[in-house]
Structure 1
Amino acid sequence: MQITITDADPDAAQALACLRAYYDLLLENIAGLTPQMLALPLPEAGTYRAPEGAFLLAWAAGDAIGCVSLRRLDATTAEVKRLWVAPHARGRGLARRLMAEIESRARSMGFAQLKLDSNSSLTPAIGLYRATGWADCAPYTSFPADIWMSKSLA
């Protein structure tokens, strides 16, 4: 399967389809999370557009099969959000590739530090983050997050 990763608008139809699938995954795995807590289109979509952020889609055979996004938190720190890979595309290193691409993008935008929040029920994601140099940090968001991580880009 040949995969390409491109910039996308977070309000584009394929981006919204990926985000809906990501939200479905969260609803299946996180107790206490409700659909009302997961708005689409993203109310903060503008923060995931250049020059403040980025929204990336992974494509195979004309279908969007993964996404990840980045938004500015402050002058030196950005937040990685909404990493998702379609079930049929998992186990091929695509999540790792998306994370590497968004980290590269953050560097090119001048960020020195990245943060992310997650939930302990998302064990494959947590494992990926730890395996790629992310470390626990102080909480900076609320439920549904119960794990917070950071990574230096230096």
Structure 2
Amino acid sequence: MLRLREASVTDADAHALLGAYFAERAAGFPAAQGEYRPAWPTAEQFTPPAGVFLIVVDESDAAVGCGGARRIRPRPGTREVRFEIKHLWLAPSERGGGEGRRLLAELERRAVEYGARELVLDTNASLEAAGGLYRSSGYVAVEPYNDNPNATNWYGKRVG
């Protein structure tokens, strides 16, 4: 089983994982949507209690995945604490064994610990496995909450 460790997005492992994630997304991004535009996260967004960034490590202590949760503005008309799940990614060799689900669950748990009542995320329809993971984890389609040019689908989940 893989392990999770908390990290800063500026750590070397985090930077390498995010770079691999962005490169994979750019290579597989639907041509009809234009060019993929990566958005490098800032450390402040993913530092407790504003957020958290986790790295997935294998038995040899090699970094093989990552994901984060960060506090964002409440939904208009509410004051409820809302967190966004970001940059959930596993190396291709680690996919299909449930580790993505475990990483998502831990990010959700941490967000709730920091006061989240609602979780949101965005993704692209071309990421069918990711969409399946989110839907099977209780996320439902919501109206767009941001203007991410890479996203085609937005999901939300009530928690806490």
Q: Give, in whole Å, the separation in 1 of the partners of 2:35 and 2:48.
A: 30
**What is the RMSD of the two structures over their aligned residues, measured on CA atoms?**
1.3
TM-score (norm 1): 0.91
- Number of matched residues? 149
- 2:51 aligns with 53
Q: Equivalent residue of 2:15, what SS?
A: helix
- 1:103 aligns with 108
Q: Give, in whole Å, the separation in 2 of the partners of 1:135 and 1:25.
A: 25
Q: Give, in whole Å, the separation in 2 of the partners of 1:89 and 1:17.
A: 16
Q: Equivalent residue of 2:83, what SS?
A: strand
TM-score (norm 2): 0.88
Q: Give, in whole Å, the separation in 2 of the partners of 1:140 and 1:109.
A: 21
Q: Give, in whole Å, the separation in 2 of the partners of 1:17 and 1:85.
A: 12
Shift of 1:110: 1.0
Pairing 1:30–2:29 present: yes
Q: Equivalent residue of 1:145, what SS?
A: coil
Where structure 1 has 5 or more consecutive residues not aligned to the other structure, the ranges are: none
Shift of 1:38: 2.0
Q: Quote the sequence identity (%).
A: 36
User: Is the 1:29–1:122 Cα contact (8 Å) retained in structure 2?
Assistant: no
Where structure 2 has 5 or more consecutive residues not aligned to the other structure, the ranges are: 74-79
